Amino acid sequence: MQHCQELAVWSKSRGLLAALFKITEVAPDSECENLVNMLRKNCIAIPANIARSFGCGSMGEQHRLMHNSLASAEKFEHDLECAHDKHYLKNKDFNLLFRETGKIKNMLVAMLNDTTQSHRKN
């Protein structure tokens, strides 16, 4: 694979980002503006770190960036829960975003496990 766009996890994380922007496109009131900005920042970081991992030379750096992507997904989930608790997200929107984030996390963990096992064999 030569481009991050060929990865299903990258495509799925870009789809998550598009869904988030659609859900939060209405200008938030000042009370939830910071939370929406955090949601967007952490969601953007998921595919961004995947893309960055393709531009690095070492397996260790690639692994670190994929871990960063997973950490961003964890932060995003936490922010989703906060937004849901404050009733800034509708239940259906929260459920969609939370479910898709879980799928992305599972894909990232599988990739990290695969690269760790491949690295150990070599």
pLDDT tens across 1-21, in order? 467 777 889 999 999 999 999
Cα 59 from chain centroid (whole Å): 21
Specify the 3-state DSSP secondary structure of 91: helix
Say whether domain 4-121 belongs to CATH 1.20.1440.60.
yes
Q: What is the pLDDT of residue 40?
A: 95
Sequence spans of domains, the chain: 4-121
**How is residue 29 annotated by DSSP?**
P
pLDDT tens across 106-120, in order? 999 998 888 766 555
Q: What is the pLDDT of residue 17?
A: 97
Tokens of 6: 């060929």
pLDDT tens across 29-80, in order? 777 888 999 999 999 999 999 988 877 777 888 889 899 999 999 999 999 9
CA distance 55 to 49: 10
Give the model's confidence band at 27: pLDDT under 50 very low, under 70 low, under 90 confident, else very high: low
